[in-house]
Amino acid sequence: MSSHPSISGRELAITIPHVRKCIIHHLAAKDIRRCTRISWEFHHLFAPYLWRFLSISRRYCFNSLRDRISAYDKRTLAERQSKIHTLSSIYGETWDLFLERIDTSSHILDPTTRLYALRAPFSNLTVLRALSTPKVVGVSYNNYVYVLQLLTLIEHSLRLHELEMSYIGPGHSTQIARLAEVIRGHPSLKKFKLSTQYILCPLYRKLLWGCWNMDRVELTMLVYVGYKNGQGG
């Protein structure tokens, strides 16, 4: 095959999609970045795979992602977003980049109700780590909006296998109950980790019931039972 008159062995290896996927499957992100610097041809072929594992742990990473997404048209964003396998971020604002607010003016809803829809599909997302806290995000209020956005991401990521969430916030009984419903009805979720400040015993039971079909569950929080509390983990 390498003696084909119209194509070289190098071109043949990287232009056949399933061969390229097999090669890239064994490459780390830093190796893929190096491949993109070889030539424009390599950049075009390898750059989309840099979206497989997105980790937003620094502010300049978030700003870069925001600028890239704002520069893409909807078609390009859909192509990139569908390639993401693992998405991790300590910044709650990250989730807003992939969502858009639904106009609820024609609905009879509470004015504080917010509905969101995905800008593009997360058809291959398998791991979602939402490690945002108010201190890290740098705001004085809680993560109410971020949790609503995350619930939308979870519901629409049908291949999601592993979910890790950090701070939800005190007194958000509605969010905890909704989270329990979402994870209980998810078709593929098997690993769940939640770290939060405290939770009332009835909500804790709802959350555990929602996790009945999981392979692994890790909960770190204070469970309040009337005037007493105990450490749950």
The per-residue pLDDT for range 119-146, each reduced to its tens digit, is 888 889 999 998 865 544 445 455 677 7
Residues in Cβ contact with 101 at an 8 Å cutoff, skipping those fewer than 6 apart: 114, 115, 116
Lowest-confidence region among 20-29, 77-86, 124-133, 175-184: 20-29
The per-residue pLDDT for range 96-109, each reduced to its tens digit, is 888 887 765 544 44
pLDDT band at 214 (very low <50, low <70, confident <90, very high): very high
Mean pLDDT rounded to a whole number for the chain: 77
pLDDT number for residue 2? 42
pLDDT number for residue 140? 41
pLDDT band at 233 (very low <50, low <70, confident <90, very high): very low
pLDDT band at 188 (very low <50, low <70, confident <90, very high): very high
Does 18 share its domain with 62? no
Q: Kindly tell me if the per-residue pLDDT of 81 is higher than 70.
A: yes
Q: What's the whole-number mean pLDDT along residues 1-11? A: 47
pLDDT number for residue 92? 83
Nearest to 136 by CA among 223, 57, 221, 19: 57
Q: How many domains does the chain have?
A: 2
Among 9, 28, 49, give the residue marking a domain's end: 49
Q: Kindly tell me if the per-residue pLDDT of 6 is higher than 60.
A: no
Among 31, 49, 67, give the residue marking a domain's end: 49
pLDDT number for residue 200? 77
Does 38 share its domain with 139? no
pLDDT band at 113 (very low <50, low <70, confident <90, very high): low
Does 140 share its domain with 41? no
CA–CA dist 49, 61 (Å, integer): 17
What range defines the domain where residue 99 resides? 52-232
Does 141 share its domain with 38? no
Nearest to 153 by CA among 133, 179, 176, 132: 179
Does 43 share its domain with 58? no
Q: Kindly tell me if the per-residue pLDDT of 171 is higher than 70.
A: no
